[in-house]
Structure 1
Amino acid sequence: MRQRVLLLLFSLAFLLWLPMLAVAEGMLPAPSGKVLLTISGDIDFPNVDGEASFDREMLMAIAPTEIRTRTPWHSDCARYEGPLFREVLAAAGVHSDRVRVRALNDYEAEIPLAELHDYDVILAMSRNGSPIQIREFGPLFVLYPFDEHPELLNESVRFRSVWHVVHIHAP
């Protein structure tokens, strides 16, 4: 009985580890859940129809990061979790020096990749431990560490802090 439990636990750990290994090796697996994000353009690792598609599980396997910050749109300090934006782009093999981020309502903003390397910007997926719903800026929200870097509290960065993110294009 104990061997069965150990085998089951080992198998489960392996299945959870496999997608992370594939991303680390540059082989992006196909999403098994609902696609939250699609990356198109100049990418090395497409997984669905020439684009890189990610479900929630895939995104959370890429450099999960926590930021505690206030935002220009929330009065309280909150704990946000999600993958580092630059690592999501690396998982797709983006080569561009900038990306265009598009929201559900077709709002778009251009973000220079240098900025994503200067700051630990995340694609926030949860706020205070709960998934961010569409009515609350979700399912993905480009979030800068505002409290750690007050210089980010400016109009340009606010325009690049896209919420309801669904698509990224690397020209």
Structure 2
Amino acid sequence: MKTAFFAATCAALLFVTSAIAQEMSEPQGAVVLTVTGNINRTNGDGAARFDLDMLRAVGETEVVTDTIWTTGDLVFTGVQLVDLLAYLGAGEGDLSARAINDYAVNVPVTDAVEGGPIIAYEVDGNTMSRREKGPLWLVYPYAASSDYRTEVIYARSIWQLDRMTIGE
């Protein structure tokens, strides 16, 4: 009886563990974003590595806004931060975002709200080169609310983003 109970308990734990730690497919193109830390979905070594097509598949949205770094309204296309974190099963805490040149910012996970910041990979229909602040740029909908036009938010708007760590 104890052996059957133990076997059933182990099987249940294995099922729960596999459901929590979901595997992703491997990137087929160049990796543009690597996410580590408190996440439940990875594609190896505790990391979620995304190529551009994988980011698009999470969900694509547009934000039309001006910025303090550019001229006029631009159409940014990307994945909402809230959708990416939900896809990854991300936990609580801060999100440490790093750029190609190792510039880093901390972004509270609470910034990830519907209609909030996106991880943009296109501007006006074109992928962003490093020179154009790409490959990824954390863009808030600055024109949507004065809440997004503060020094704190501008400081979180990291460009040339290529890696994030959740909750560590």
TM-score after normalising by structure 1: 0.81
Shift of residue 118, structure 1, vs aligned partner: 6.0
Q: Deviations over 1:69-118 (max 9, x none)?
A: 00110121011100111211222221123210000111111111111116
User: Using the alignment, how far apart are the partners of 1:103 and 1:137 within structure 2?
Assistant: 10
Q: Which has the larger radius of gyration?
A: 2
Which residue of structure 2 lines up, in the alignment, with residue 108 of structure 1?
Answer: 104
User: Using the alignment, how far apart are the partners of 1:148 and 1:53 within structure 2?
Assistant: 31
Q: Deviations over 1:4-49 (max 9, x none)?
A: xxxxxxxxxxxxxxxxxxxxxx542111111100001111111022
Asked if the contact 1:28/1:91 (under 8 Å) is kept, the reply is no
Which residue of structure 2 lines up, in the alignment, with residue 133 of structure 1?
Answer: 129
| Candidates 43, 57, 72, aligned match of 1:61 | 57
Q: Structure 1 regions of 5+ residues with no counterpart?
A: 1-25
User: Using the alignment, how far apart are the partners of 2:137 and 2:55 within structure 1?
Assistant: 13
Q: Which moved more, 1:114-123 or 1:59-68?
A: 114-123
Letter in 2 for 1:129: G
Q: Aligned runs of 1:139-154 on 2, under 5 Å?
A: 139-154=135-150
Which residue of structure 2 lines up, in the alignment, with residue 10 of structure 1?
Answer: none
Asked if the contact 2:80/2:114 (under 8 Å) is kept, the reply is no
Which residue of structure 1 lines up, in the alignment, with residue 15 of structure 2?
Answer: none
Q: Structure 2 regions of 5+ residues with no counterpart?
A: 1-21
TM-score after normalising by structure 2: 0.83
Q: Aligned runs of 1:8-27 on 2, under 5 Å?
A: 26-27=22-23
- Identical columns (%): 31
RMSD of the alignment, in Å? Answer: 1.3
User: Using the alignment, how far apart are the partners of 2:85 and 2:114 within structure 1?
Assistant: 15
Q: Aligned runs of 1:40-51 on 2, under 5 Å?
A: 40-51=36-47
Which residue of structure 1 lines up, in the alignment, with residue 29 of structure 2?
Answer: 33
Change (3 A) 1:118 1:90: closer
Q: Residue 95 of structure 1 aligns to a residue in which SS?
A: coil
Letter in 1 for 2:59: A
| Paired positions, count | 146
Q: Which moved more, 1:27-36 or 1:154-163?
A: 27-36
Shift of residue 120, structure 1, vs aligned partner: 2.0
1:81 is aligned to 2:77: yes
User: Using the alignment, how far apart are the partners of 1:48 and 1:33 within structure 2?
Assistant: 16
Which residue of structure 2 lines up, in the alignment, with residue 156 of structure 1?
Answer: 152
Shift of residue 119, structure 1, vs aligned partner: 4.3
